[in-house]
Amino acid sequence: MNVAIRSLVVGYRDRPVARLGDLVLTAERVTLVVGPNGSGKTTFLKTLAGLLRPLEGTVASSLPRGRHGAVFVHSSGFLFHGTVRKNLMLAAAGGEAAARQAAVALGVEALWGRAVAELSTGQRQRVALARAMAAAPELLLVDEPEGGLDAEAIALWGDVLTTAVEAGRPLVVVAAHRPAGLGGVPLFSVALRRADGESAPFVGVPFEDRSAAGVGEA
């Protein structure tokens, strides 16, 4: 499973935000996108997820067109009204067993019957991640997950990533300021940097010299 990006420019109808050029993402490394606020991390991830159209260029993935091809997780950990169970079951391609398994992987199985309105921010983010995993996606895009996660959640999330890399699916792309939880996971990193001044689009620059050991403060 890989994603090939060609001459990609992402943004909104009236405004290009970032220029990503040519990149190839593979499932054997977690792709990490870093950059300052407003540099286009979210825009890039949403474009990869198919939620936004590229302004220029193409995104081609080797995954078959299907229900749970690409799943995007918002940084807010958005959940639908109702219970944790409802949210997980909506996503679960593999039925209740898959949903419960995803809940266990993120340490939220105890919250199964709870109303979403009662959850803390961190709990919501965990449930949102669990829901994404329950959908068994080929491509998983996670926007700034480290926000509300505690140390235990970060450790669990790290395990999820390790398993994904070893299994070869899903291909994970994470946008972050501080790459927490990514220690020990092989990474392909892309930094969004300002190129030509205040109003020009950011430019995505892959950097390979950051080893996984160098990244990974909790």
At closest approach, how far in Å is the CB of 106 from other proteins?
16
Which of 34, 91, 111, 127 contacts other proteins by CB under 8 A?
Answer: 91
CB atoms within 10 A of CB 121: 12
Which of 3, 17, 19, 46 contacts other proteins by CB under 8 A?
Answer: 46
Assess contact for 86 and 153: CB atoms under 8 A.
no
The region of 61-69, 102-110, 174-182, 188-196 touching other proteins under the rule CB under 8 A is 61-69
Which of 84, 135, 149, 190 contacts other proteins by CB under 8 A?
Answer: 135
Instruction: Say which residues have a Cβ less than 8 Å from residue 199's Cβ, sequence separation at least 6.
Output: none
CA distance to 52, 70, 71, 114, 144, per residue, from 47 (Å):
5, 11, 12, 33, 16
Sign of CA dihedral 81, 82, 88, 89: negative
Cα–Cα distance measured from residue 110 to residue 128, given in angstroms and rounded to the nearest whole number? 15
CA 64 to chain centre: 19
Instruction: Say which residues have a Cβ less than 8 Å from residue 139's Cβ, sequence separation at least 6.
Output: 1, 3, 48, 49, 61, 63, 69, 70, 71, 170, 171, 173
Assess contact for 39 and 18: CB atoms under 8 A.
yes
Per CB under 8 A, 129 contacts other proteins? no
What Rg do the C-alpha atoms of the chain give, in angstroms?
17
Per CB under 8 A, 12 contacts other proteins? no
The region of 15-23, 74-82, 100-108, 196-204 touching other proteins under the rule CB under 8 A is 74-82
Give whichever of 22 and 118 is closer to other proteins, judged by the CB atom.
118
The region of 43-51, 97-105, 153-161, 195-203 touching other proteins under the rule CB under 8 A is 43-51
Which of 3, 106, 131, 187 contacts other proteins by CB under 8 A?
Answer: 131
Give whichever of 114 and 210 is closer to other proteins, judged by the CB atom.
114
At closest approach, how far in Å is the CB of 66 from other proteins?
8
Per CB under 8 A, 102 contacts other proteins? no
At closest approach, how far in Å is the CB of 78 from other proteins?
4
The footprint of other proteins (CB under 8 A) covers 46, 49-51, 67-72, 74, 76, 78, 80-82, 90-91, 131, 135
